[in-house]
Homo-oligomer: A and B are copies of this chain.
């Protein structure tokens, strides 16, 4: 299900005789997200923001809406979930929800697949053009009031390897292809190329394809299989002129290895929106590196994303109330929504 950033939806009809679902919202603040007011028309809402408040809220709740993608409270409070029939993550990544008790249960988990794709793809294309056009140096020269002409790179025909050829990776590929780049994907299993990916190789074969890439983009979910996927060996396999872009999850990368690869000029640069530790501590070496572009886990967060997330949840809530199959159900075995990698 694809949502573009300007997505709006008609009001849901509330039937007076429909039983109101009991929904707990797990937020990162005590008051919950601002958009929570919109939910009150559709169910009895309780807000939790830590383990204690979650233990109080969960008993009797049928639905859990997780808006804090960093939470570890749910695993701790899980024994209080006595009536839960559906968990929805208002994020693309569900890594914090893949603990044994939930994975082993029959409770379906859905995610926000589709919401962030377009904005993340724009972020990635912007980062690629920043590198190619040497924009970072333009800004530095401007600050020094110096007129310094250089020749810069074209992105035409340049090769992008997208590690994680799912919903987000495909949109990244689509934008890069649209502007004349050559796009290859990496997925769990190899499959035929298509209108976006000239080829999709298996994750096991990634080392054979890393040397050919001008840009390597991580768009994979964080799972046991992808944790620390990009380590010293992977960076050593990349071309010296290549740039590394991570919009997936921080722990997919061994950060110390990435810093070494950048310092030792094994790769030419990195654009990072996600980090092993978030917020990244002020003393971390990455902040000071001139060949690194950084942002605060915000690549997907276009203006209006909170409302778009609520819209998507309400679409699924309607299905749930009708007894229909939910969309964006996560494969708890793989740790992401089917078709997303």
Contacts and interface: CB of A to CB of B under 8 A. Distances in A.
Interface of A: 4-6, 118-119, 122-123, 125-126, 129-130, 132-133, 135-136, 138-139, 141-143, 145-157, 175, 178-179, 278-280, 282-284, 287-288, 292-298, 301-305
A295 B142 CA distance: 8
A138 B179 contact: no
A302 B152 contact: yes
A189 B134 CA distance: 36
Contact of A122 (B133, B292, B295): B133
Contacts of A130: 126, 130, 135
Contacts of A149: 296-298, 301
Nearest to A298: B149
Contact of A303 (B118, B126, B148, B152): B152
A280 B142 CA distance: 11
A169 B178 CA distance: 18
A123 B133 contact: yes
Contacts of A133: 122-123, 126, 295
Nearest to A139: B139
Contacts of A279: 147
A298 to B, nearest CB: 5
A225 B247 CA distance: 47
Contacts of A122: 129, 132-133, 154-156, 179
Given A126-B129, A139-B293, A142-B292, 11 more contacts: A122-B155, A123-B133, A125-B179, A135-B135, A145-B283, A145-B287, A147-B280, A147-B296, A148-B296, A149-B296, A152-B298
A126 B132 contact: yes
Contacts of A118: 154, 156
15 contacts: A6-B157, A122-B129, A122-B155, A122-B156, A130-B130, A133-B295, A135-B293, A139-B293, A141-B294, A143-B287, A147-B279, A152-B298, A152-B302, A153-B303, A179-B179
A297 B294 CA distance: 27
A127 to B, nearest CB: 8
A151 B301 contact: yes
A133 to B, nearest CB: 5
Most chain B CB within 10 A, of A118, A119, A152, A304, is at A152
Contact of A293 (B138, B156, B288, B298): B138
Q: Which 4 pairs across A and B sit closest by C-beta, in order of nearness? A: A126-B129, A147-B279, A178-B178, A5-B154
A282 B287 CA distance: 29
Contacts of A132: 122, 126
A156 B139 CA distance: 26
Contact of A294 (B142, B179, B280, B283): B142
B119 A282 contact: no
Contacts of A156: 4-6, 118, 122
